[in-house]
Structure 1
Amino acid sequence: MAHLSSSLLLLVAASAVMILTVAPQADARRHKPHRFSLHHQNLGSSLPFLGVQINGLCRSTDYPDVCISALSSSPLGPLSPATAIISTIRAIDLKAKVARGVSLQLAARATDRMTRENLKNCAEMYADVSFNLAKSLANVRSRDRNVLNVNLSAVIDDFETCNDGFVENGTRSPLAAQNDVMRKMASNGLALAEKLK
């Protein structure tokens, strides 16, 4: 019975992982590395120029393809380091809120105590991520690069903390793939913060 419940939990987790990661992976396959796809969004006549700007900003990040995908899917108008960071923060926050909901659903269905506790811990980490991202938005608006770096670093730590609870128990977080994407996005935010003036 416990094996059946564990199998069901893994099936639900795998479904959630697919839902949260299929779109970004499909996006990544459409894009050549370090290149902006003109098929990505209807951005009007500013599209070629915006693509050049996105490529230029994302080239300085650790994960350019993740950066290009995030920025080209939610442009904020005239692109600058500040608007790029804001777009990145909003994209991370949206993903973290979805991941929090998934972690709470999985925790409610978990049959073993450690998995349930780890998933609840992840839900708390995602709430903390949203809190730190809200502070990060204020830091961008006030151009406080030092505190922005502290808050984005805390976001990265939260994703790692979520994964660590599972690793310590010899398992893998069902949200590890999402955490990795969001961690890369936050890392890109740190790189973009270097250009903030």
Structure 2
Amino acid sequence: MLILKSFMLLFLAFLLFLSTQSLGTSVLEDTCKRAAESSPNISYNFCVSSLRADPRSTNADLAGLGLIALDLVSLKATQASSHAKDLLRNPGLVSDKKQCLQQCLELYDDAMDTLKRCRDAYSGKRYKDVNIWVSGAMDNSDTCEDGFKESGLASPLTQENHDLTQLGSIVLAITKFLGA
């Protein structure tokens, strides 16, 4: 009898675990579906894979997913800045490309400073401030990309800029869903 009770408790705990796992997944998937439908800048698959890569997403509600997306866009700006710095270390850089990379580095550093303020604003539900600052970071990545195009050069930072724009768009979509 004791074995049966233990088995039943274990089975119930397993069912509870499964239900919380599927709840987290459905909030994430529903959020990404709505976000992708609300913005041409957001790929559903990119949204799901980006948010799901963070372990906090398993049990996150909508506000939690927004915070994760905000952390991801900040991380992407930091990675883009590091990549630009690495590229600038190449001694054989053409002058025009070097100038574009220096401009991008300044833009990324500005975006990183701006995004640092977003976390407190987000926690304080000041979503309009978050939207302004995230939009500015997205504009900076677009400006970086435009600098290469205007110089007739291929940008080595296109993927970072694209990801930063998508992640920023996810933040903007979520703050809109939260009532911004």
TM bucket normalised to smaller: 0.7 to 0.9
**Aligned-pair RMSD on alpha carbons?**
1.7
> 2:45: which partner in 1?
65
Which segment drifts farther, 154-163 or 56-65?
56-65
Q: What's the CA shift for 1:112?
A: 1.5
Amino acid at match of 1:136: C
Give aligned-pair identity as a percent: 23
SS for the counterpart of 1:47 is helix
Alpha-carbon distance between aligned partners in 2 of 1:135 and 1:65, rounded to the nearest angstrom: 28
> Which residue, out of 104, 113, 116, partners 1:134?
116
> 2:6: which partner in 1?
none
Alpha-carbon distance between aligned partners in 2 of 1:145 and 1:95, rounded to the nearest angstrom: 20
Amino acid at match of 1:70: S
> 1:31: which partner in 2?
none
**Greater CA radius of gyration, 1 or 2?**
2
Does the CA-based 8 Å contact 1:57-1:81 persist in structure 2? yes
> 1:160: which partner in 2?
142
Gaps of 5+ in 1: 1-43
> Which residue, out of 66, 74, 84, partners 1:93?
74
Alpha-carbon distance between aligned partners in 1 of 2:85 and 2:72, rounded to the nearest angstrom: 20
The count of aligned residue pairs is: 154
Q: What's the CA shift for 1:47?
A: 2.3
Alpha-carbon distance between aligned partners in 1 of 2:66 and 2:23, rounded to the nearest angstrom: 19
Does the CA-based 8 Å contact 1:167-1:173 persist in structure 2? yes
Q: What's the CA shift for 1:178?
A: 1.6
Q: TM-score, structure 1 length as denominator?
A: 0.72
Larger helix fraction of residues: 2
Alpha-carbon distance between aligned partners in 2 of 1:196 and 1:139, rounded to the nearest angstrom: 14
Gaps of 5+ in 2: 1-16, 37-41
Alpha-carbon distance between aligned partners in 2 of 1:157 and 1:84, rounded to the nearest angstrom: 23
> 1:148: which partner in 2?
130
> 1:7: which partner in 2?
none
